[in-house]
Structure 1
Amino acid sequence: MSFYDWITDSAQSIRTDGKEGVSESLYELRLGIVRRISKLNYEPTSIWEREWDLLIVLDACRLDLLQSVEEEFRFLDHPGSMTSTASSTTGWVERSFDTQYEQKLAETAYVTGNPNSIRAFPHEFPETCECGASLKPSYQAVYHEGRETCPSCGTQIQGERQVPVKVLQEVWRDSWDNSLGTIQPRPITNAAITTGRETDVDSMIVHYMQPHHPFIPAPELDQGSYIAPNDEERQKQSRTIWEQLRMGDVDKEVVWREYRNNLRHVLEDVELLLENIDGDVAVITSDHGNAIGEYGIYGHPPGTPIDSIVTVPWYETTAVDEESHSPTPNATNSNVTSEEVTERLQDLGYF
């Protein structure tokens, strides 16, 4: 956002929302300044620069958050850290699945509960329709629907999804829990175990949604970001948990407690996964963390590489399939509409 854009947006926001508009405008100004300064000494490390067979991604997990529970889980006994390539999942998936890593990706499985996988695997369209008209596919066509209508002749053109990984399991498509506004860890664990036992790949990335909000152990605190639990009409809420914290509507101690409980919730499944899959070098890491007031920033805004957001865990362990768990098949429904994808991203605080 340019300074001119900020002035224009601020004027509109203040006219519409009064004092709250002033607060939002000042926050955007601060965020812009922090973004510019934090990029000056930002030196990220790609996951492909490290050695691993099994990469377990805990979405939005701060380094100090994992450190605070490491004594509770025996597999968290080799701590470490790294600097993530992005401050949001969107940037992380785009960089991690970039074609420059195509040889490694060709022997990798990606099992994910995060709907932002759509940004890593877009649909590609021809430049022109058979009628000769130029095509300019919309965002919805490229990332959601995979089809576009020719503006000249009306023909429906199907795009080809670019999937450089050997196996792609988008578990969020069939196992999303609308009552929670997120996906539970178990469907992801089940899909990862099944993939590990039934496919031949060199490496696997398992992307859990927790500890990212909404906080499953405390749905009354974090109402699915924009969508309240059990709200069948999906009425938009006013603030995410991080916005509530920034505005003083909830105590920092309460947020930290439930953020940590949400981490414990997913780590129980990580423990189950490590006992039911093989991996000589298994790593527990994160795509990004969260700011909880550092430099006046909250959450994980894109393009903001401050330490609390981009310094993430890198805990190494070993996974051995002891066959102690037999996964139940997840439901099969990959025909998720564009509106449903948008709703699921809204649940997580996007858009």
Structure 2
Amino acid sequence: MSLKSQKRLIHERDWHVLIVLDACRYDYFEEIYQEYLSGKLRKVRSQCFDDSFLYSEGRTKTWLRNTFDKKMGGVVYVSGTPHVNSVEVNTENEDFVATDVFSDIIDVWDWGWAEELGTTPPEKIVEGVNIAKEKYSEKDLIIHFVQPHGPYLALGGKEIEVSGMVSSSSELGILDRGRKMAGRILQSFLPGEIFKELRNFFSSIDKPAEKIAKEYGKGELRNFYTKNLRSALVEVEKIVRLFPDKSIVITSDHGEFLGEKGLYGHNWNEEFLTEVPWFEVS
């Protein structure tokens, strides 16, 4: 049975508050959501794939570009991530300009970022929601938490991920663009299986989650991920109480590998990453 399109559900607008948990896996959400919320859960298909098979430019950027390809009138975005911003931060996402899509953006990432953690803490998102609720009481909200995406809060900033928000002229930016270009060129003429082997070889540099797994073990990595998800759900509970008469949905932009098939993170064109929760709060 094919999964329903998340994009279609989003644009049908049968919600007033849409909460996005970045990199939230369906199975992990399914396992613990009942400790915090009640409602109806189903699995849907996210449009988080791009055409770079060797080295992805990042799932959130692709998801935003593919999902919000037309104006969302009357929607305010409460953003914990600089990928959605109103202050002209260069996200190198040429086909997605957040200010052209949404009525307004609350840049929580701008004033709520915790340098010591390398992320926007989930409690700061609730502050942004309160601002949006007071300022835009008649508009719908999309609320984007960074968690359960790393860095993992339980580590207290010991493992700060490179966010991907690098200048195209920097050393990291040049390397990133080079990988994308190489991936597209190789994919155009190599047989599929050979290309997959090369993809795995060129992407073998340890990712933050992989480093954590090597230092603490896969089980502890998954525990850190679960704790990040729980930290977000605690704050989601508070948001739900703020809107007792509104239709609220919780979803995600993409999934996350935590060592399955030897993969970590989400820079892979694997169907598993497109399977995300769609939870209608009751």
Q: TM-score, normalised by structure 2?
A: 0.71
Distance (Å, rounded) in 2 between the aligned partners of 1:161 and 1:271: 27
Distance (Å, rounded) in 2 between the aligned partners of 1:42 and 1:64: 15
2:130 is the alignment partner of 1:193:
yes
Kindly indicate whether structure 1 or structure 2 has the higher relative contact order, using CA contacts under 8 Å at least 6 residues apart. Answer: 2
Q: What is the correspondence of 1:169-184 to structure 2 with a 5 Å cutoff?
A: 169-184=106-121
Equivalent position to 1:291, from 257, 263, 277: 257
Q: Secondary structure of 2:248's match?
A: strand
Which residue of structure 1 aligns with residue 277 of structure 2? 313
Equivalent position to 1:256, from 201, 222, 228: 222
2:44 is the alignment partner of 1:79:
no
Distance (Å, rounded) in 2 between the aligned partners of 1:243 and 1:48: 36
Distance (Å, rounded) in 2 between the aligned partners of 1:317 and 1:43: 18
Kept in 2, the 8 Å contact 1:226–1:240? The answer is: no
Distance 1:140-1:81 versus aligned 2 partners, 3 A rule? closer
Distance 1:143-1:93 versus aligned 2 partners, 3 A rule? closer
Q: CA deviation at 1:219?
A: 2.7
Q: Secondary structure of 1:107's match?
A: strand
Deviations 1:302-351 (A, max 9, x none): 6x1422x1111111115xxxxxxxxxxxxxxxxxxxxxxxxxxxxxxxxx
Kept in 2, the 8 Å contact 1:108–1:202? The answer is: yes
Q: Secondary structure of 1:109's match?
A: strand
* Structure 2 residue identity aligned to 1:224: I
Distance 1:140-1:316 versus aligned 2 partners, 3 A rule? closer
> RMSD between aligned alpha carbons?
3.1
Q: CA deviation at 1:240?
A: 3.5
Which residue of structure 2 aligns with residue 45 of structure 1? 6
Q: What is the correspondence of 1:152-171 to structure 2 with a 5 Å cutoff?
A: 162-171=99-108
Which of the pair is proportionally richer in helix? 2
Q: What is the correspondence of 1:212-291 to structure 2 with a 5 Å cutoff?
A: 212-219=149-156, 223-226=159-162, 239-244=206-211, 248-278=214-244, 280-291=246-257
Distance 1:194-1:72 versus aligned 2 partners, 3 A rule? same
Kept in 1, the 8 Å contact 2:38–2:281? The answer is: yes
Q: CA deviation at 1:288?
A: 0.8
Kept in 2, the 8 Å contact 1:110–1:167? The answer is: yes
Distance (Å, rounded) in 2 between the aligned partners of 1:167 and 1:140: 18
Kept in 1, the 8 Å contact 2:77–2:105? The answer is: yes
Q: Secondary structure of 1:52's match?
A: coil
Distance (Å, rounded) in 2 between the aligned partners of 1:279 and 1:204: 14
Distance 1:273-1:161 versus aligned 2 partners, 3 A rule? closer
Please list every run of 5 or more consecutive structure 2 residues that lacks an aligned counterpart in the other structure. 50-58, 164-171, 173-204
Deviations 1:26-51 (A, max 9, x none): xxxxxxxxxxxxxxx99853022462
Q: Secondary structure of 1:115's match?
A: coil
Kept in 1, the 8 Å contact 2:65–2:93? The answer is: no
- State how many pairs are aligned: 228
Q: Secondary structure of 2:48's match?
A: coil
* Structure 2 residue identity aligned to 1:214: P
Distance (Å, rounded) in 2 between the aligned partners of 1:56 and 1:43: 18
Structure with the greater alpha carbon radius of gyration = 1
Q: Secondary structure of 2:249's match?
A: strand
Deviations 1:55-78 (A, max 9, x none): 0111111011111212311x2442
Distance (Å, rounded) in 1 between the aligned partners of 2:212 and 2:91: 36
Distance (Å, rounded) in 2 between the aligned partners of 1:58 and 1:141: 19
Kept in 1, the 8 Å contact 2:210–2:259? The answer is: no
Identity of aligned residues (%): 28
Equivalent position to 2:25, from 62, 66, 72: 62
Distance 1:218-1:68 versus aligned 2 partners, 3 A rule? farther
Once superposed, which parts of structure 1, at least 4 consecutive aligned residues long, lie more than 6 Å away? 141-144
Q: CA deviation at 1:80?
A: 1.5
